[in-house]
Structure 1
Amino acid sequence: MRLGSDHVRVRVPATSANLGPGFDALGLAVAHYDEVEVKALGSAEVTVEVTGEGAGELPTGEDHLVVRAIRAALDEVGAPQVGLHLTCVNRIPHGRGMGSSAAAVVAGVLAARMLVAEPQALSDTVAFRLASAFEGHPDNAAPAILGGATVAWTAPDGPHATALPVHPGVTPVVLVPPHACSTRTARGVLPAMVPHADAAHTAGRAALLVQALCHRPELLLAATEDRLHQSYRAQVMPGTAELVRALREAGQAAVVSGAGPSVLVLEDATSGDAGARGRAALLGPVAPDGTTPSGWRVLTPGIATRGALAERL
């Protein structure tokens, strides 16, 4: 397949996976975006310019995750490999459980979609499969591509996902700590087996969470109870665990965002500003830029009802 464009732009939302009991299955896209511009070059040169999150720390050549995803997607459809110049504006915090790696992979795959002459060859189904392969699980890739809330699962024929119609009264708030924790570390403390009672409890809450997200926001606190992974992760993110505990005791549907250490609060709009007052009591007053005296940052981005967007320039 030949290339059909040499200059494209992609915008990808941040995502929060698990949502408490929906481990490796449920996810939510939030309106906090990374943007990537990609230019195909006539030479073999690869350069990556990064501003924002990860600037000065991320690879600036072939090892950059967006570049690797572009390469994989071009190979998938038999398109030629080319030199690349990337300009990345990163707003999604890294190592905080907000899907930054999934966003990078999705950005690369969708950039390749717009570069090739037949974009339909990299359909959402193909893009989702490629992104899930990079991630190892589909819970972040699904909302990044589809937007909104999603349920993802893996079958013998590969990963699948479906979108959920989120109730308009559900509002996400993300509390971002000043420190990072790698997904590998957060997954490394999970046990190979859990008690049957904990698994049964969590399965029931995950089912209830779908009802709460779609129709009954007043059930969010009960629906986000988890016994499968969050308590085990407390040892590597004690500050996160304490904040989740305190928020839940105050009546807020707080969970670890993805693998952490950020905290996601799913607010019911009918609660008014009680949630904001409770968070301010724990973290200190929130400045206009979202920072607090405790070092945690408060993001109120809203739900990204549409997933990643790509266009030719």
Structure 2
Amino acid sequence: MNLRVTVPASTANLGPGFDVLGMALGLHDVVEVRVTDAGLKVEVIDAGAGGVADVPTDETHLVVRALRRACDHLGFSPPGLHLRCHNAIPHARGLGSSAAAVVSGVAAGYALAGRELDDEALQLAAGFEGHADNAAASLLGGLVIAWQDGGRFGAERLDPHPDLKPVLAVPAQRSSTDATRGLLPEHVPHADAAFNAGRAALAVRALTSRPELLLTATEDRLHQSYRAPAYPASARLVAQLREHGVAAAISGAGPTVLALTTTGILPAAVDVDSFEVIALPVDAAGVQVAVA
């Protein structure tokens, strides 16, 4: 059996929705999977601007690990595998490259076992990182609200407003999710927590039906200011964009900047010289598997 798995990038948090809000983006990794007689072969065609050298090509490859876990869960054991990974999602930039790899592996495992994706696919994918925002977005597409309850993950998919046109400003700098999460305090003021709860609720309304509210709805007091020392140029760009009326936030753990626009362009007065600016549509479909 030959499979072609196409999985979208994702952006998480969207300002105030820390570990809760995620959205799929029209930038895709593609994994070709072929069942062979024995053994494992992994080819990495490129590494999403991360450099091929730092991507493993053995059983530790993230797609392979996720595929194996899905197959084990489903009681299926392929005799051998050949993977070709075409990576377009930049690594370590806050665009869900790890979640996309995991989702592609889980989806491939389900397809090889002859099973449709189900709620357990989300449990498997989200379990790799311990939260479901990026994984659910890559799995389901569109806008997602994610949560965890009693050790299980949940996600609700919503359709973003059709006028929403995300623009990314991607720096050359890379960032570690673990490192930036380590900058967050164990406790935050009650007033800040209440502020973010209100803004996260408003963000859902703004993203789905009232985009004119996005500037207010993307305000955050929970995580971005604490992480700013890790990527000062990105933090400055967020501030500049917001001063020009653009709803901007750090994408996931950073350092990519997400601008939620209705025009698909950034103000000319904003300095983006050290960033690659990319306008992307929202991916509505989520992960797709084609059988060759």
TM range (shorter): over 0.9
Give the paired residue count: 290
Match of 1:15 in 2: 10
Residue 119 (structure 1) aligned to one of 115, 121, 127? 115
Match of 1:87 in 2: 84
Greater Cα shift, 44-53 or 196-205: 44-53
Give me the whole-angstrom Cα distance separating, in 2, the residues matched to 1:62 and 1:146.
26
Match of 1:303 in 2: 282
Residue 72 (structure 1) aligned to one of 62, 69, 93? 69
Give me the whole-angstrom Cα distance separating, in 1, the residues matched to 2:29 and 2:44.
13
Structure 1 residues not aligned, in runs of 5+: 1-5, 284-293
Match of 1:290 in 2: none
Q: Partner of 1:107: helix, strand, or coil?
A: helix
Residue 26 (structure 1) aligned to one of 12, 21, 46? 21
RMSD between superposed Cα atoms in Å? 1.3
Q: Provide, for residues 119-142 of structure 1, a one-character-per-residue CA deviation record: whole Å limited to 9, x for no partner.
A: 13xx23111110000121100011
TM-score for the superposition, normalised by structure 1:
0.90
**Percent of aligned positions that are identical:** 49
Report the CA distance between 1:52 and its aligned residue.
4.4
One-letter code aligned to 1:115:
L
Give me the whole-angstrom Cα distance separating, in 1, the residues matched to 2:152 and 2:41.
32
TM-score for the superposition, normalised by structure 2:
0.96
- The answer as to whether partners of 2:47 and 2:90 remain within 8 angstroms in 1 is no
Report the CA distance between 1:235 and its aligned residue.
1.2
Matching of residue 266 in structure 1 with residue 249 in structure 2: no
Match of 2:267 in 1: 277
Please show how residues 84-233 of structure 1 align to structure 2 within 5 Å.
84-116=81-113, 118-120=114-116, 123-156=117-150, 158-233=152-227
Give me the whole-angstrom Cα distance separating, in 1, the residues matched to 2:217 and 2:155.
21
One-letter code aligned to 2:10:
T
Give me the whole-angstrom Cα distance separating, in 2, the residues matched to 1:13 and 1:50.
17
Structure 2 residues not aligned, in runs of 5+: none
One-letter code aligned to 1:97:
G
Q: Partner of 2:260: helix, strand, or coil?
A: strand
